[in-house]
Amino acid sequence: MLISISSPVHLAALFLLSLSSLLAQPASAQKNKGNVTAPAFTGPRRLQPLYGNLAPAQAQQAAGTAMLTNVANSFASRAEASKFFAQKGFEYLREAQLDTAVVRFNLAYALDPLNPDPYRGLAVLLSQRPAPTDPAAAAAADETVRGLVLQGLAVAPTNALLLTDAATTAFGRYEATKKKKDLLEADSYAQRALLADPAIAAAWQTQARVRFAQQDYAGAWLAVHKAQALNLSSLDFEFLTQLLAKAPDPDGKFK
């Protein structure tokens, strides 16, 4: 299940061309045994999520401490620089320039590991790649996305977009496993996301799917209507067909 792109950050562009050669340089550092289960990424470390899942201090070494200092000196703070490069990562992601997006998200992470946007950006990017055909590789890729989302939530536990992503990935696991714990986890994250921001259509859409799986069709229709009112493009007509087969739309909007 795909995670949708969204980022609230918007900052003015600064001196990117002068950094392009520095950002293109490969780097190496010892791999950290962190929260992300990394699938078989190949190529230079700068193109692997979080530099191959390095801890913050190791990521800063991988990026280059001199380069990070040079970047940070052009902003009011490292936190501001991190937000800027995370925003650039989302822009490159929308333009399908995935390698460049990874480089920008990684740089944002090295600049400020407390910024949740790089974790979310990398999770979005990986979730939108074609799923591996090998079941073990597909499971590893899903776990990588989940790990990135959880790392983002560790630094921003009330971030509505990350909570929505967590609900989406948990429900995706439920569809594969049919385990009640995965469904309950998806329900919990969706509710937390809507508590943090009730204007996220994707969170309502995931809650609709959860309610459908719980055979709460009235609740599913309520969530569908909430999502539809916020963003018409959020509607999944295949899901609507399934829901209509179980219960008519009480509002009569969908037949």
Q: Are residues 102 and 222 in the same domain?
A: no
| pLDDT tens-place string over residues 114-166 | 999 999 999 999 988 887 788 888 888 888 999 999 999 999 999 999 999 99
Residue whose C-alpha is closest to residue 35's, from 225, 166, 218, 189: 166
Q: Are residues 102 and 209 in the same domain?
A: no
Q: Is residue 104 part of a domain?
A: yes
Q: Is residue 144 part of a domain?
A: no
Q: Is residue 221 part of a domain?
A: yes
* Domain with 5 in it: 1-139
Residue whose C-alpha is closest to residue 190's, from 215, 173, 210: 210
| pLDDT tens-place string over residues 157-188 | 999 999 999 999 999 999 999 999 999 999 99
Domain count across the chain: 2
Q: Are residues 135 and 162 in the same domain?
A: no
Q: Are residues 57 and 17 in the same domain?
A: yes
Q: What single-letter DSSP state applies at residue 132?
A: P
Q: Is residue 147 part of a domain?
A: no
Q: Are residues 131 and 182 in the same domain?
A: no
pTM value > 0.85: no
Q: Are residues 186 and 130 in the same domain?
A: no
Q: Are residues 133 and 165 in the same domain?
A: no
